[in-house]
A = this chain, B = another copy of it.
Amino acid sequence: MPMTPLNVTHPFLDADGDKLREECGIFGAINAADASAATALGLHALQHRGQEAAGIVSWDGKEFFVRRGLGHVAENFSSPEAIAELPGHMAAGHVRYSTTGGSGLRNVQPLYADLASGGFAVAHNGNISNAMMLRADLVGKGSIFQSTSDTEVIIHLVATSRYPTIADRLVDALRLVEGAYALIVMTPEGMIACRDPLGIRPLVMGRMGESILFASETVAFDVVGAEVIREVEPGELVLVDFSGEIRSVRPFGNPSPRPCIFEHVYFSRPDSVFAGRSVYEARKAIGAQLALEAPCEADLVVPVPDSGVPAAIGFAQQSGIPFELGIIRSHYVGRTFIQPSDGARHSSVKRKHNANRSLVEGKRIVLIDDSIVRGTTSLKIVEMMREAGAAEVHFRVASPPTAHSCFYGVDTPERSKLLAARMELEPMRQFIKADSLAFISIDGLYRAVGHEGRDAVRPQFCDACFTGDYPTSLTDLAQTEQKSAELPFADPKAA
């Protein structure tokens, strides 16, 4: 295999699905009798945050143990043998969406290193926006990188820090880092969970008897029977040792939090609680708000399954139009099939979604989807409804137009491929061939998730994908852009 080039910051992966994708989920447990079994279950509940690889590291009081694999958690961590390889009362794990090419397992987290202070393992959700610059500095001084992951920068910064304690070395490292991170760190002294100063990526803390747990979403606690304590706060480090003592440190002052609002729109599971609010209720409220902002005459409210379902229920309840399954989703998807050459049109969408023809025929329908990214899937779904005989197809979107790339750990198409970056509302409607098209307003979205609207001075969330208002500087991108002025759509800040 080729030595893969560095791919630490640039988010322009070619997504073959037509969704933004959360790139990671993390989970940790300390002082737990079966730390790695709990971690495996917790990761399984976070599987929607990353399906391509999973890893767990455990510590048994003397040694660290590691196991990583491509594929789902269940394929790698469901057997007694796998769990037996991960003994001890402390463990942390990671699921990730993408592994770049063949370099495969090297980039699967948690990353691990032998430092002078002992073993050091880290699981990271997010993206460091000055990783390329930091890496070049470290390599220049003699550091040798094992992976192409931005996360490894943090480890080398810790390894070369001159502070005496591991906690101080971690803070020293994080002061140099810019971007989004929720981290779970393990050392021979215990577990450290922390979130970047703006809290862009989520991290919650739970308890099960004596054990302390950390996870990207509360649903991971449900599956292991634990209770939620609270969120790890933006800019906070929570340190838990093996005596059970818990300390909280806030070395970065008190910036205003900016958690990612797309967790409410799409990333989190509906049965999670995020930023103090039930995600299911938030999505229903978005659907209801959408029905108020953009009502329409129709016979059926049809969700694009599965992510559009809660918003569709909210829309149906607000509007009084019946909620019906006009599109049936197959649970057996995944790979691209060879297409027969004759006559089979659009079957790649059909494999996943099939029109419920008997229901749809002759009806006016309102389709509800969570977002429009490239628009290609939306077009195919509208066409599928029309082929099934729908009289009218109205499209309502449970988020504002997605017009900007994310640089904080979400897999986004490059900006030139985002439909909303390329055209205004009416051309979008024509592109997807709907009879009408409406998005929720940005203020409507903030209202649906519990605020009075967006605070333009101090926005309560990171909503850069809608507004282009990036809450941190983007050092690596700036350098890349200087080199590649030919990119048709310069993305942030200056715009």
Contact = CB atoms under 8 A, between A and B. Distances in A.
A200 interface: no
Nearest to A282: B358
A296 to B, nearest CB: 20
A66 B37 CA distance: 35
A336 interface: yes
Contacts of A160: 141-142
A254 to B, nearest CB: 29
Contacts of A280: 325, 328, 356, 358-359
A355 B280 CA distance: 11
Contacts of A37: 337-340
A243 B200 CA distance: 53
Contact of A224 (B2, B269, B313, B344): B344
A336 B40 CA distance: 11
Interface stretch (A112-120, A400-408, A438-446, A454-462): A112-120
Interface stretch (A124-132, A270-278, A287-295, A369-377): A270-278
Interface stretch (A7-15, A78-86, A468-476): A78-86
Contacts of A264: none
Most chain B CB within a 10 A radius of its CB, from A40, A161, A209, A356: A356
A83 to B, nearest CB: 5
B156 A344 contact: no
Number of chain A interface residues as a range: 35 or more
Contacts of A359: 278, 280-281
Contacts of A83: 338
B139 A3 contact: no
Interface in A333-367: 333-347, 350-351, 354-359
Interface of A: 1-3, 32-34, 37-38, 40-41, 44-45, 47-48, 51, 63-67, 72-75, 77-80, 83, 85, 112-116, 119, 139-146, 155-156, 159-161, 208-209, 211, 219, 222-226, 269-271, 273, 278, 280-281, 306, 309-310, 313, 317, 322-325, 328, 330-347, 350-351, 354-359
5 contacts: A72-B334, A143-B159, A219-B354, A270-B356, A280-B359
